[in-house]
Chain A
Amino acid sequence: MIAEKQASQAVAEILGHYKKEKKNLIPLLQEVQTKLGYLPRKALQEIADFLEMPEVEVWGVATFYNQFRFVPLGKYHTVVCMGTACHLAGGRLILEALERELSIKVGETAEDGNFSLERVACIGCCMLAPVVVIKDKIHPKMTPFKVEEALIPYKQEAQGELKEGKSKSKS
């Protein structure tokens, strides 16, 4: 997570490129999220102050749209497609398998910050259904068993870094 002060600075810089017009709210939210990875409460306050509108109105808009997130994503953000083609090919089973394997529910980020799980309505590559996207890599034609396999390298990487971190702190 980016430190609060840095985040404020980043938001201020983005605000500098915009006019104080209400129509800029959504592009502003989009740019801040692209920069910070999510929308921290403080950033929403700062946007509200800038546009001179009530903070609750900014929240109203931000929570309306699917794109906006209010918690940081995991290092290995995992997206499961729940579009029609994926659903018909067993998307629900894939989602259940991911929840089971990652020990988090959809919409959550794991406590250690490694994995987060999100469902989306359709990513539009229906010929590969059912599809899971882990850290921007598309995993086609998934089965519950393949979910387990697909996660292994990421889990290993996460664990490896954990060990490395520990040994560093020891030395």
Chain B
Amino acid sequence: MTFEEISNKAKSEWEALQRGSYILIGTATCGRAAGALDVVDAFKKGLTRQGLDVLIIQVGCMGLCYAEPLVTISKPGSLRVVYSNVTPEIVPRLVEGYVAGDDPCLELALGTLEGGGGEAVYIPELPRFEYELRLILRCCGYSNPENINHYIANGGYSGLEKALKISPEKIIGELKKSGLRGRGGAGFPAHLKWELCRKAGGTPKYVICNADEGDPGAFMDRVVLESDPHQVIEGMIIAGYAIGAEQGYIYVRAEYPLAIERIQIALKQARKLGFLGDNILGGDFGFHIEIAAGAGAFVSGEATALVAAMEGRRSEPRPRPPRLSEAGLWNKPTLLNNVKTFAFVPLIIERGGNWFASIGTEGSKGTAMFTLAGKVANVGLAEVPMGTTLSKLVYDIGGGIAKDKEFKAVQIGGPSGGCLPESLLNIPIDYDSLREAGSMMGSGGMIVMDENNCMVDAARFFIDFSTKESCGKCTMCRLGTLQMLRILEDITAGRGGIDDIALLLALAEDVKAGSLCGLGQTAPNPVLTTMRYFRDEYEAHILEKRCPARVCPELTVYYILPDKCDRACEHCILTCPTKAIKGDKGEVKIIDQVKCSKCGTCLEVCPPEYNAVVKLSPVSLLPASKLSERKAGK
């Protein structure tokens, strides 16, 4: 079949689909966690009961994770309506109301995908979409990731078709014009990498897609692979053609079973239609892709460490040069890019490098994809043009801070990135501005922290992660981060001295200088940025033994205010997991500070009309008599 025939067939399948009714249910990992598979079952049952033959399509993620499970009901001639937080209980209503009847059940809907101006919320006009520009995410959640025809009907594989008609030099030229930089974090210009690989001597050459997303709180790559995997595959094939490689690998974490399953299906379908194999689209160029399942090591995200893992060794980085473009997998020239980098390639070829370069800022082109998590109201995924400010992302797209709390910091780039304060919310998101502020683009994880989060504790958390994930090859990374962790543990436990701040800073510089790879070189960033922007919190912990956010357990106590305690109520006594609260019926309840595990259950269960439990820091705020009890108890 020629590409035109394939494309026409796909388009007629897509159009036929639009002529009928269908139901889209988001069943990416995030949807499943929220119960999407139960919703799928409920719809199947509901449709059978009504005797309806309506197609249910399991799709990926729309990026609105806070609203999962998401269901879209599409009917010819009617509005496409999206329902959020769907449970099996409300499914019969949706089936009877809108699938079988004409009541769109708008009171249960997030909004509609058509219309606007009506009484229902028009989803494309939600405030967040004013700032978003969805390129990679454009079809995620709307097309079936397990059906290649959906991808083709929406313009898929036409980039590849075009690429195979032009020379490799011209492809790399387009990439150069586009200004695309690697989306793995470091931001190395993509065209340079491709050019080096193309010119490198030695065959065979390899293309590797780095899908070893290990950054806690980041799941963009997983969403792309689960929701629209073909764009990554198409990008890799174009890369193979451009550099002269015939074999590609997708290195993906074994912890992403659904992503692996969906890539496998996608590869099979691409082979069947002749996009992969010996003679792609009937031409001379052949390319094959296999999956390599990573066994879980954060350091494997580093290029040379990833290659070591693929060769069956411990995933330890090695010094560069030689670059992977000269000596990569099996010592052969290897092109390694991130999932999102490959996903942009088909669009750049199809629409031209200049089009891509028209989006974004001077030094950072195109869009950036982030996962927004933590204390933000709308947890989810966003794709914005480079140069969008942090505040737009946190407030306009993320909906601000959940539960009306105060914003404290935003952490970008995971364990390698930094915590930025409110005063920096106006900086634009691009590689250079973030680096200047002491953070980094990273792979795109963004965690928002509020007034109830302790910045010293956050720094301790990230260093703890880096310590655990250090491969152990470099002394400074293996032991330096451990020493930093010990010092931070001392500070959060109230054992810190004021000299510790200088010691931490010195160690941070040493770890940066004495580490071979990005993991060690960037591991101190969370400590350095919290010290730079939140030094007062460090000083409060050290000098006053006070945790301003009242998080660190050694510096915090729970106390029941005697004049507020209802006496007759026993909520706290009954729920305390360590049986630390005493007090007979009719007596004021008292917390035994020795038994207390500082879990906060009492504060949570104390009825709001009493609000008798308070959290105090420093510990010395505990009224004197109780304090002596505490000491006596010890």
A→B interface (CB under 8 Å)? 21-27, 29-30, 60-61, 64-68, 82-85, 87-88, 90, 93, 96-97, 100-101, 120-129, 131, 138, 140, 143-145, 148
Please give the distance in Å from B45's CB to the nearest CB on chain A. Answer: 21
Is B375 an interface residue when CB atoms closer than 8 A count as contact? yes
Whether B578 and A127, one on each chain, are in contact in the complex, defined by CB atoms closer than 8 angstroms, is no
Q: A60-B314, A61-B313, A126-B379 are in contact. Are A88 and B604 (CB under 8 A)?
A: no
8 A Cβ contacts from B87-134 to A: none
Contact of A90 among B315, B461, B600 (CB under 8 A): B600
Whether A26 and B295, one on each chain, are in contact in the complex, defined by CB atoms closer than 8 angstroms, is yes
Whether A30 and B447, one on each chain, are in contact in the complex, defined by CB atoms closer than 8 angstroms, is no
Contact of B217 among A23, A29, A83 (CB under 8 A): A83
Q: How far is the CA of A9 from the CA of B195 in the complex (A)?
A: 50
Q: A124-B219, A145-B577, A145-B605 are in contact. Are A88 and B311 (CB under 8 A)?
A: no
Please give the distance in Å from B239's CB to the nearest CB on chain A. Answer: 22
Whether A22 and B312, one on each chain, are in contact in the complex, defined by CB atoms closer than 8 angstroms, is yes
Whether A23 and B310, one on each chain, are in contact in the complex, defined by CB atoms closer than 8 angstroms, is yes
Q: Write the B467-503 contact mask toward A (1 if CB under 8 angstroms, else 0).
A: 0010100000000000000000000000000000000
Residues from chain A with Cβ under 8 Å of B578 in the complex: 100
In the complex, the 9 A-B pairs of residues with the closest C-beta atoms, listed nearest first: A65-B295, A126-B373, A83-B216, A66-B296, A125-B33, A122-B216, A127-B379, A84-B217, A25-B312
Most buried by B among A68, A97, A140, A145: A145
Q: Write the B528-568 contact mask toward A (1 if CB under 8 angstroms, else 0).
A: 00000000000000000000000000000000000000000
Most buried by A among B293, B295, B374: B295
For this complex, 8 residue pairs linking A to B, each with C-beta atoms less than 8 Å apart, are: A60-B314, A64-B471, A84-B216, A85-B217, A85-B374, A124-B30, A126-B371, A126-B373
Please give the distance in Å from A136's CB to the nearest CB on chain B. Answer: 11
Residues from chain B with Cβ under 8 Å of A68 in the complex: 295
Residues from chain A with Cβ under 8 Å of B310 in the complex: 23
Is B26 an interface residue when CB atoms closer than 8 A count as contact? no
Residues from chain A with Cβ under 8 Å of B469 in the complex: 121
Q: How far is the CA of A3 from the CA of B581 in the complex (A)?
A: 48
Given A84-B414, A124-B30, 5 more pairs with CB closer than 8 A: A97-B577, A100-B597, A122-B217, A123-B255, A131-B33
Whether A100 and B577, one on each chain, are in contact in the complex, defined by CB atoms closer than 8 angstroms, is yes
Residues from chain B with Cβ under 8 Å of A88 in the complex: 374-375, 447, 449, 453, 458
Q: A84-B216, A126-B373, A143-B601 are in contact. Are A23 and B295 (CB under 8 A)?
A: no
Residues from chain A with Cβ under 8 Å of B605 in the complex: 145
In the complex, residue of chain A having the shortest beta-carbon distance to the beta carbon of B297: A65
Q: Write the B366-395 contact mask toward A (1 if CB under 8 angstroms, else 0).
A: 000001011100011000000000000000
8 A Cβ contacts from B276-332 to A: 293, 295-298, 309-315
8 A Cβ contacts from B147-174 to A: none
In the complex, residue of chain B having the shortest beta-carbon distance to the beta carbon of A119: B468
Contact of B599 among A25, A60, A82, A144 (CB under 8 A): A144
Q: How far is the CA of A96 from the CA of B68 in the complex (A)?
A: 29
Q: How far is the CA of A69 from the CA of B371 in the complex (A)?
A: 30
In the complex, residue of chain B having the shortest beta-carbon distance to the beta carbon of A100: B577
8 A Cβ contacts from B421-474 to A: 445, 447, 449, 453, 458, 461-462, 465, 469, 471
Please give the distance in Å from A52's CB to the nearest CB on chain B. Answer: 13
Is B65 an interface residue when CB atoms closer than 8 A count as contact? yes
Q: How far is the CA of A84 from the CA of B598 in the complex (A)?
A: 20
Whether A124 and B29, one on each chain, are in contact in the complex, defined by CB atoms closer than 8 angstroms, is yes
Residues from chain B with Cβ under 8 Å of A83 in the complex: 216-217
Contact of A65 among B315, B599, B604 (CB under 8 A): B315
Whether A29 and B295, one on each chain, are in contact in the complex, defined by CB atoms closer than 8 angstroms, is yes
Q: A64-B297, A67-B295, A97-B577 are in contact. Are A87 and B461 (CB under 8 A)?
A: yes
Contact of A144 among B315, B374, B375, B601 (CB under 8 A): B601
In the complex, residue of chain A having the shortest beta-carbon distance to the beta carbon of B35: A138
Please give the distance in Å from B295's CB to the nearest CB on chain A. Answer: 4
Question: Interface residue count for B (Cβ, 8 Å)?
Answer: 56
Residues from chain B with Cβ under 8 Å of A131 in the complex: 33
Residues from chain A with Cβ under 8 Å of B311 in the complex: 22-23
Q: How far is the CA of A65 from the CA of B296 in the complex (A)?
A: 5
Please give the distance in Å from B301's CB to the nearest CB on chain A. Answer: 12
Q: How far is the CA of A90 from the CA of B575 in the complex (A)?
A: 17
Residues from chain A with Cβ under 8 Å of B461 in the complex: 84, 87
In the complex, residue of chain B having the shortest beta-carbon distance to the beta carbon of A65: B295
Residues from chain A with Cβ under 8 Å of B178 in the complex: none
Q: How far is the CA of A27 from the CA of B575 in the complex (A)?
A: 47
Please give the distance in Å from A106's CB to the nearest CB on chain B. Answer: 12
Q: A30-B293, A61-B312 are in contact. Are A145 and B601 (CB under 8 A)?
A: yes
In the complex, residue of chain A having the shortest beta-carbon distance to the beta carbon of B452: A88
Residues from chain A with Cβ under 8 Å of B519 in the complex: none
Q: How far is the CA of A128 from the CA of B219 in the complex (A)?
A: 14
Q: How far is the CA of A68 from the CA of B293 in the complex (A)?
A: 13
Q: How far is the CA of A21 from the CA of B311 in the complex (A)?
A: 10
In the complex, residue of chain B having the shortest beta-carbon distance to the beta carbon of A96: B597
Residues from chain A with Cβ under 8 Å of B254 in the complex: 30, 67
Please give the distance in Å from A69's CB to the nearest CB on chain B. Answer: 11
Is B270 an interface residue when CB atoms closer than 8 A count as contact? no
Whether A85 and B447, one on each chain, are in contact in the complex, defined by CB atoms closer than 8 angstroms, is yes
Q: How far is the CA of A148 from the CA of B597 in the complex (A)?
A: 15
Please give the distance in Å from A139's CB to the nearest CB on chain B. Answer: 10
Whether B312 and A140, one on each chain, are in contact in the complex, defined by CB atoms closer than 8 angstroms, is no
Is B14 an interface residue when CB atoms closer than 8 A count as contact? no
Residues from chain A with Cβ under 8 Å of B575 in the complex: 145
Please give the distance in Å from B530's CB to the nearest CB on chain A. Answer: 14
Q: How far is the CA of A61 from the CA of B29 in the complex (A)?
A: 29
Q: How far is the CA of A131 from the CA of B445 in the complex (A)?
A: 18
Please give the distance in Å from B411's CB to the nearest CB on chain A. Answer: 7
Whether B296 and A67, one on each chain, are in contact in the complex, defined by CB atoms closer than 8 angstroms, is yes
Q: How far is the CA of A85 from the CA of B65 in the complex (A)?
A: 14
Whether B447 and A24, one on each chain, are in contact in the complex, defined by CB atoms closer than 8 angstroms, is no
Q: How far is the CA of A12 from the CA of B34 in the complex (A)?
A: 40
Q: How far is the CA of A133 from the CA of B194 in the complex (A)?
A: 42
Is B3 an interface residue when CB atoms closer than 8 A count as contact? no
Please give the distance in Å from A122's CB to the nearest CB on chain B. Answer: 4
Q: How far is the CA of A125 from the CA of B598 in the complex (A)?
A: 26
Is B214 an interface residue when CB atoms closer than 8 A count as contact? yes
Whether B374 and A96, one on each chain, are in contact in the complex, defined by CB atoms closer than 8 angstroms, is no
Residues from chain B with Cβ under 8 Å of A127 in the complex: 30, 34, 65-66, 68, 373, 379-380
Q: How far is the CA of A74 from the CA of B291 in the complex (A)?
A: 30
